[in-house]
Structure 1
Amino acid sequence: MLTRVLVNGADVTGSVHGGYYTLPAQIYADGSCYHSNCYCLANGSDSTDKDIIAKTQAQFASGEVAYLLQGTRTDTTIVWGQTLTGPNKQNYPVLRGEKVYRSTPCPTDYSNGESKNKLHNIGTDGYCTVCKELCIAYTVTIPATVELGNAANATATISAENVTLPTDKTLKVTVNGPFTATLVGTTDVTAHYTIKNGSTALESGDPVLTAKSGESPKIPLTFVKPDAAPYAGSYTGTVTFEVSVGSPTT
């Protein structure tokens, strides 16, 4: 099994047969050699083998191919590298060259230093205009349980992080009731509680949190215990939160 092979030649018509090194232009397999993650320079007569991938001269010079060839190997096992700047700049990957890093989350810049942060440039269709990836992503955190004691209210924080959206879209989290808890062991003995965002009591369907791309809001909600319950005992209930992405409302 051969992986991460650089094909150094103009006419790639067969399969890769070799090792972790550059190979001559005309390459054939003996029928027992399997390969993947192999690259050649795009020149108009590229291989039809899906595992021999054509890359442009600019992609080679940028460090992209060196990064792909190195793969997930650690710093102590650098096989493929490339010097990307300075007087010794290299236009192609070399064996045991300088380590290449890729930017995140938009994976379009390569460097010899640590991975740098590069944000997606998101168009209104949700795709990055640079890397062309679909860039709708977010992490919404909602506590699984909230416990109301006898003497105090409880606070739960709803948060959104890593929000990546088209410029004309907004992430929204709404709360849905009814805000009631049922006495354990019964089906009809209930107590009503209140959820507040600041000093505002929420109703079912009210928004709790909104966020546009790049924002990371954290909204503390107060769960106000019932003034009185019909019977003493433990009460349980379920409140649901709906997460959606849509056009902002005024």
Structure 2
Amino acid sequence: MSSQLPWLAPGDPLPQPNDAWGADDPAPGLLAAGGTLDVANLCAAYAQATFPWYGPGQPILWWSPDPRMVLPVAQFRLHRSLRKTLQAFRARPGCEIRVDGAFKAVITACAAKEREGQTGTWIVPDMVRAYTALHAAGHAHSVETWVDGELRGGLYCVALGRAVFGESMFAHATDASKIALAALVCLCRVHGVELIDCQQNTRHLASLGAHEIPRDRFLAHVEQARHQPGPPWQFDPLYWNALLSR
């Protein structure tokens, strides 16, 4: 496609995902710039496998990469060390998973996380406000690792029906974010969610069983899954059996 990037005014619809820049363009996967981060526009974007990602001082940038990194929950790799960590967490009094107990604290902690090779954060204040509003509307959720009444790690995600899109994680204690991810995998397994979107490829995600699929295949999954009843966003300790009993 042409390297001319569409600029959106408030209220303009996003282009189709297949119009995103390709491998020969300056930023593969970039779809458009501008527009707004209101709840309706975010829901419309995720419904067509598109998400905002930009840094301080930049306009809103919309992305739909091809291929797409996804984690099939049935293929989550429970390494021996993480299994031991989960078993200890499950058995220890004062350790618990909460869902949507402290969404604002989770996204704020994700925004403050230092990332190797990066300065600043893509979770800019406007993104925090936008996803907090998305959470209030019932479309964004946090999965949290609590120890002795303190939030020690967690993640947040977007959900449209059974289409679940992972966003970011943080940890203030060893393995606290991995525990939250494992809890999300358990919740998804119990309630028939097949994939967790990971957006882009990283070695860490690949080590846990994530892999790339063509964008068209991911779009077809989202279209089918978003019309299905979503899971109840709560965590029962019995859900650990979806991982630990195997």
TM-score (norm 2): 0.19
The structure with the greater share of residues assigned to strand is 1
The structure with the greater share of residues assigned to helix is 2
